[in-house]
């Protein structure tokens, strides 16, 4: 039995929940969890590439190191593995990552828009505006660089013509952030369709960013 069985189960359950909630279709998207290091070797558990989530078992979740080398598993890890690794390297207190293709977030990403700070929970739990990362092919160094540039110290980012990405200290935090991205994107598009969007007052943004900072601790 794998020494990482419980961690693999966390990844599997998040991936299947992502599918059940309609945040992806088919084999799209990916999920990962940072694992305790083995000496100097940094590790993560990640969903495999091009496999239907409802057919996966715990043993199908792959273990890789931060050089992208397989440690455990016989499937190809997600093609966006290096994006996950890049974020874990940059964000030391980030332990979980979920990449979705949820409909409203993807619509905003196709429109080429950032989502400004419009909701209290958006700022308090995601860190402020949800910025759009410039387009890059999946799995490329350019994608990693573009996402990190747009993400900065927040927990949410949109990927141009692609989808959304959320992170957190725990898998539950990352999943909740993904749901908040989708909710915020839907509200933003509805407000744009009405023709009027009011941003949060500056004093509210400042107060809620302070809450976000306390929740996150050291980035």
Q: Which are the catalytic amino acids? A: 80
Distance CA 190, CA 67 (A): 42
Residue whose tokens read 């050291």: 218
**Cβ atoms of residues 101 and 31 within 8 Å:** no
Distance CA 56, CA 151 (A): 30
Strand pairing report for 41-46 and 30-38 = antiparallel
Q: What is the Cβ-side half-sphere exposure of residue 169, based on CA atoms within 13 angstroms?
A: 11
């Amino acid at each position: 039995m794998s020494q990482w069985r419980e961690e693999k189960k966390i990844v599997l359950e998040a991936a299947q929940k992502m599918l059940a909630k309609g945040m992806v279709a088919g084999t799209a998207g990916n999920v990962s969890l940072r694992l305790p290091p083995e000496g100097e070797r940094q590790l993560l558990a990640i969903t495999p590439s091009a496999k239907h989530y409802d057919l996966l078992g715990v043993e199908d979740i792959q273990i890789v190191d931060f050089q992208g080398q397989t440690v455990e598993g016989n499937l190809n890890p997600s093609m966006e593995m290096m994006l996950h690794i890049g974020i874990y390297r940059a964000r030391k207190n980030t332990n979980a990552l979920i990449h979705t293709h949820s409909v409203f977030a993807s619509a905003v990403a196709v429109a080429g828009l950032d989502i400004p700070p419009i909701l209290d929970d958006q700022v308090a739990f995601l860190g402020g505006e949800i910025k759009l990362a410039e387009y890059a092919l999946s799995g490329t160094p350019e994608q990693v660089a573009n996402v990190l540039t747009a993400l900065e110290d927040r927990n949410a980012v949109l990927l141009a013509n692609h989808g959304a990405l959320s992170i957190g200290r725990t898998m539950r935090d990352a999943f909740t952030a993904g749901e908040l991205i989708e909710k915020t994107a839907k509200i933003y598009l509805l407000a744009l369709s009405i023709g009027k969007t009011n941003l949060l007052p500056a004093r509210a943004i400042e107060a809620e960013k302070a809450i976000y900072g306390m929740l996150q601790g050291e980035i």
